[in-house]
Amino acid sequence: MKKLTKLLLIVVAIFTWTNVAISQNTDCLGVTNSASQGAFTDGYIYSFKTVGTDVTVTFELLDNKTGLVAFIQTYNPNFSEVAATNISGKKFTKTFSGQILGDSFKVACKFAYAGSMAVTKAFTYIVGSSCKTTASDTEAPTLFTVKKGAITYSSVELLLNAMDNSGNVIYKITNGTNSFATTGTSGVEKSYTINGLTDATDYTFSVEANDVSDNAAANSPILLEASTKPNTSTECAGSYTDAQQGSFVKGYNYTFSTSGTDVTVTFDLLDSVVGLVAYAWTYNPNFAESQMSSVSGRKFSKTFTGQNIGTTFNVACKFAFSGGMSVTKMLSYTVGNSCGGTADTQAPTNFTTALGTVTSGSAELLLNGSDDSGAVVYTITYGTTSLITSSNSGVLKSYIVTGLNPSTDYVFSVTAKDASGNTSSNSPIIVAATTTAVVVPTTSAPTPPAYSASNVISIFSDAFTNIAGTNYNPNWGQNTVVSPIQVGSDNVLEYSNLNYQGTQFGSNVNASTMKYLHIDVWTANETSLQIYPIMNGDAIEKYYQLAPLNLDQWNSFDIPLTAFTSQGLDLSDLIQFKIVGSGGEIVYIDNLYFYTDAKTDLSTVYAANSIICFPNPVLNELTILAKSTINEITVRNILGQFVKQVSANECSKTIDLSDIRTGNYFITVKLANGQLFTKKIVK
């Protein structure tokens, strides 16, 4: 009797253990977009079922793919792969017989389609489980709505929403013979964009809302009508006889195309003329003129690199010929528009976003992605601000968000799309950043030499009388703010969030008798600046690069005005001045003035310094001034090795150092009287 009782206890224990094991099932039925390889946009539905000792696995892909086949991957215990049977649409199944009740059955599904593949995550199912730990789900989705979102000439956005007790809703969309599916979270609006549509066309979309148990919302399907817009947002190709200057007899043909972020413009003159050349006039945003390359006959072409996808590119062509010239009408093209080409339905892949350099007023985002169109459009949002930039496919893009506050936490949300609006599957990527504290100068700017007032035109300096009525902070629509601050007893200008900022003179300035422009710059993080004196009516601005900039110290530059006049600047009629930075930094400026180097005015300087070398640091050209005639200039590196030698026979000599490497050098100047002077410079 004791043996029988013991045997019965063992049987009961085994039976109890088997039921416990079966009840521990985890994955039986659901919807997800998790992947172990590749990526899913809209995800898939999965289910498991046991009949006797046979396990049937079913996967239904929700992504819109062509040429679709499916393979079931098992790990019981070794890996194997077998083709699944298509049931209908994108639903596939496979039955595995002779399984052991209570065992773990691990399985995944590989969907292979035209151009790529993706593998679901691996699911573990307990053989024999009915997946009904609670009552069957018979509750259908409720509060089901469908609304129209953004509409373009080739796409319609559907805004889908519904509630379901399971936590997920499956939306099935039908348009004619085309069907789409996507999933959303219960109670959360889902945006789904249908691309590849025809412009100026009426469409009717039928939308159903189901849960994973296939319960349909009571008001399914909802029918939504939408009409795509006409494709009139751009001019891509055509012929005109219109002219904004001159006239055309037969006119001209034109074409636009985008490759990556490069726009190519082609003009073909139909008039018969001789001595023909062509120039592209662009207005993006400022006017510029550049010569076009001859393709053949009277056809000319020009490629403009690094344009932003989705922006408007405005251009005209000036045809110059023997005896006259004519300019085409201004044409507008939307960068990235395929102009009626094959619809693009492939979304960007390999999308990544990382945080780069962070300063007190800016954060750098490092963006990358790949797309078959050749370019990727990135949208960056934080708070209520939205920014857009683009780059070539597979090329790392550095984008600096400016106008930030110091010592502040920011969260950036970044999405990647192509020109057709297809969005990468892992969008958005969230990046957090904290801006640094503001760093201010610790010392006053260098005191200027005591020049005669007649030899100086001062824009800003405590040492001289500044131009009356000058506005250092005009509203030019930029983020930069200029504020006067005091460093010790010295007044300086603080340029915060510097992308660019102008200075408006109180009256027109004649600097034609001046020879140099002086500026002192202090910055904790800016590496390069551009300085622009602007003349009245100038359409093409001239600038000088202030580089390199040594951080956390004052940098002094004496710029020969020939650097500007050689570009066509008229010094006799200056109205403005502009500083341009890389974006978002804080820069301090002092002692900004024009001056001449008359010997009587520089005598006090020469008394202490028998030669003067500027600018130092030097970018390309170094000017040497001496109190007597210069005979020879020798350049040696920090080891004393010979680098360059230049002859001279004047008191002022400018030498070209663009061909030497960055580093420290010694300049030795031999005067005609035999004196030698050596100065250290930085390049």
Using a 10 angstrom Cβ sphere, with 0-12 exposed, 13-18 middle and 19 or more buried, the burial of residue 356 is middle
- pLDDT, tens digit (0-9, with 9 covering 90-100), for 108-163: 999 988 767 889 988 988 888 776 544 467 889 999 999 988 877 677 889 999 99
What is the CA angle 562-568-570, rounded to 5?
80
Using a 10 angstrom Cβ sphere, with 0-12 exposed, 13-18 middle and 19 or more buried, the burial of residue 313 is buried
- pLDDT band at residue 264 using 50, 70 and 90 as cut-offs: very high
Output DSSP code: residue 525: S
Q: Which of 378, 406, 434 is the last residue of a domain?
A: 434
pLDDT at 675 over 50: yes
655 vs 672: CA distance, rounded Å: 18
Q: Which of 334, 369, 393 is the last residue of a domain?
A: 334
pLDDT at 21 over 60: no
- pLDDT band at residue 232 using 50, 70 and 90 as cut-offs: very low
How would you label 579-604 residue by residue, b for 16+ Cβ within 10 Å and e otherwise? Answer: bbbbbbbbbbbbbbbbbbbeeebbee
433 vs 358: CA distance, rounded Å: 8
- pLDDT, tens digit (0-9, with 9 covering 90-100), for 163-199: 998 888 889 899 888 888 888 888 888 888 887 777 6
Output DSSP code: residue 645: E
| CB 50 within 8 Å of CB 99 | yes
Q: Which residue has the higher pLDDT, 232 or 623?
A: 623
Residue 495 lies in a domain: yes
| CB 591 within 8 Å of CB 518 | yes
Domain shared by 461 and 579, yes or no: yes
Tokens of 181: 């599916």
* Total domains, the chain: 6
Neighbours of 75 (CB within 10 A): 14
Domain shared by 198 and 217, yes or no: yes
Tokens of 365: 């985002």
Of the listed ranges 176-180, 467-471, 487-491, the one predicted with least confidence: 176-180
Beta-bridged to residue 123, according to DSSP, are: 107
pLDDT at 12 over 50: no
Q: What is the mean pLDDT of residues 218-235?
A: 77
pLDDT value at position 453?
A: 87
Amino acid making up residue 36? S
Q: How far apart are the first and last CA of the chain?
A: 102
| CB 478 within 8 Å of CB 622 | no
Q: What is the CATH number of the domain that holds 90?
A: 2.60.40.10
Domain shared by 94 and 118, yes or no: yes
Domain shared by 585 and 470, yes or no: yes
518 vs 591: CA distance, rounded Å: 7
Residue 604 lies in a domain: no
Domain shared by 463 and 586, yes or no: yes
Output DSSP code: residue 330: P
φ and ψ of 603, to 5 deg? -60, -40
Tokens of 48: 């498991």
164 vs 215: CA distance, rounded Å: 10
pLDDT value at position 94?
A: 94
Round the average pLDDT of the chain to a whole number and report it.
83
pLDDT at 244 over 50: yes
**Domain boundaries, position 309:** 238-334
368 vs 370: CA distance, rounded Å: 7
Residue 259 lies in a domain: yes
Q: Is 20 helix (H, G, I), strand (E, B) or coil?
A: helix
330 vs 317: CA distance, rounded Å: 8
Q: What is the CATH number of the domain that holds 659?
A: 2.60.40.1930
Q: What is the CATH number of the domain that holds 527?
A: 2.60.120.430
Residue 1 lies in a domain: no
Q: Is 19 helix (H, G, I), strand (E, B) or coil?
A: helix
Query: What CA dihedral angle connects 492, 497, 501 and 505, to 10 degrees?
Result: -30
247 vs 327: CA distance, rounded Å: 8
Q: What is the mean pLDDT of residues 417-426?
A: 87
φ and ψ of 3, to 5 deg? -65, -40
Q: What is the mean pLDDT of residues 499-506?
A: 86
What is the CA angle 549-552-555, rounded to 5?
40
CB-based contacts of 501: which residues, under 8 Å, 6+ apart?
A: 473, 476, 478, 480, 482, 495, 578, 579
pLDDT at 68 over 90: no
Domain shared by 479 and 559, yes or no: yes
Using a 10 angstrom Cβ sphere, with 0-12 exposed, 13-18 middle and 19 or more buried, the burial of residue 92 is buried
Which range is most confident: 4-18, 19-33, 623-637? 623-637
Domain shared by 122 and 216, yes or no: no
φ and ψ of 31, to 5 deg? -140, 140
- pLDDT band at residue 295 using 50, 70 and 90 as cut-offs: very high
Tokens of 387: 């920014």
Q: Which residue has the higher pLDDT, 298 or 311?
A: 298
195 vs 342: CA distance, rounded Å: 11
Residue 534 lies in a domain: yes
- pLDDT, tens digit (0-9, with 9 covering 90-100), for 80-89: 889 999 998 8
pLDDT value at position 614?
A: 82
pLDDT value at position 196?
A: 72
- pLDDT band at residue 107 using 50, 70 and 90 as cut-offs: very high
Domain shared by 457 and 591, yes or no: yes
Q: Which of 334, 368, 387 is the last residue of a domain?
A: 334
Domain shared by 394 and 521, yes or no: no
Tokens of 210: 């189901």
Tokens of 321: 């010929």
- Percent share of the chain, pLDDT over 70: 90
- pLDDT, tens digit (0-9, with 9 covering 90-100), for 565-609: 888 888 999 998 888 887 667 899 999 999 997 543 343 344 334
pLDDT value at position 380?
A: 93
Domain shared by 354 and 486, yes or no: no
- pLDDT band at residue 211 using 50, 70 and 90 as cut-offs: confident
- Percent share of the chain, pLDDT over 90: 27
Domain shared by 621 and 678, yes or no: yes
Q: What is the mean pLDDT of residues 279-284?
A: 88
Domain shared by 583 and 464, yes or no: yes
Q: What is the mean pLDDT of residues 558-567?
A: 86
pLDDT value at position 25?
A: 40
Residue 508 lies in a domain: yes
> How far, in Å, are 5, 17, 19, 22, 102 from residue 8 at the CA level?
5, 14, 17, 21, 21
Question: Is the N-terminal amide bond of 428 cis, ω within 30° of 0?
Answer: yes
pLDDT at 546 over 60: yes
HSE (CB half, 13 Å, CA atoms) of 599?
Answer: 8
